[in-house]
Amino acid sequence: MKDNKRIRIALTKGRLEKDTVALFEKAGYDVDQLRNKGRRLILEIPDSGIDVVLAKAADVITYVEHGVCDMGVVGKDTIDEHSGSFFEVCDLGFGRCKFALAVKKGDDFYAGFGVKTIATKYPNVTRRFFEAKGMDVDIVKIEGSVELAPLLGLSHGIVDIVETGTTLKENGLEVYEDVSAISARVIVNPVSMKLKKAAIEELVAKMEQYKGQ
């Protein structure tokens, strides 16, 4: 059985993890273990009642949904693609980027009448985007470097994450239309929210207070 007094929060390994650790530090938590973690995946914030789990983005959602982690920090991109039953309680403001429809520079995506093909790592986000327009598209799932698909002639466009725009630019592509904004979010398991309400609300309040500082 989990110790009911403790909260377990899953962080998305990598940049969101680093930004969250920096936020914890600003909020006054001892983050030494988190900074010097080696290959450890479960760490303790001393004298806080908080345990930190490091996981891949989609797994953060899985652990929070199953209630083995009470909370998580994950990108809106992963939330939008995977959905699930949890509360999204806070926008941390970092990890900002966007989903965009991109095409080869100068291409008019909506020209012509044929069904368009879109390559993406995010088929659910893509499907919803075009469904909202009432537009029928063929979606091809790609695992990475999606920019290749239009260059190789596999697709008319891509729906992908754009941060600086450098990857698109260096590969002769450009944003055709924005799809949605992305940033890091705090998610909470609904049962944990009931059973550990005070502790969770205290941590979320601290994160809200120190974000953007």
Give the footprint of ligand PRP on this chain (CB under 6 A).
144-146, 160-167
9: nearest Cα among 31, 26, 209: 31
Query: Could you tell me the smallest distance in angstroms from the CB atom of residue 97 to ligand PRP?
Result: 7
Tokens of 20: 């969250």
What's the Rg (C-alpha) of the chain? 20
Residue 119 or residue 203: which is nearer to ligand PRP going by CB?
A: 119
24: nearest Cα among 124, 108, 117, 92: 92
The CA distance from 146 to 125, in Å, is: 15
Query: Could you tell me the smallest distance in angstroms from the CB atom of residue 176 to ligand PRP?
Result: 14
Residue 43 or residue 168: which is nearer to ligand PRP going by CB?
A: 168
Query: Which residue in this structure is represented by tokens 């698909």?
Result: 149
Query: Could you tell me the smallest distance in angstroms from the CB atom of residue 119 to ligand PRP?
Result: 11
Residue 106 or residue 144: which is nearer to ligand PRP going by CB?
A: 144
Residue 98 or residue 116: which is nearer to ligand PRP going by CB?
A: 98
Question: ∠ CA(74), CA(58), CA(159), 5° rounding?
Answer: 85
Query: Could you tell me the smallest distance in angstroms from the CB atom of residue 52 to ligand PRP?
Result: 23
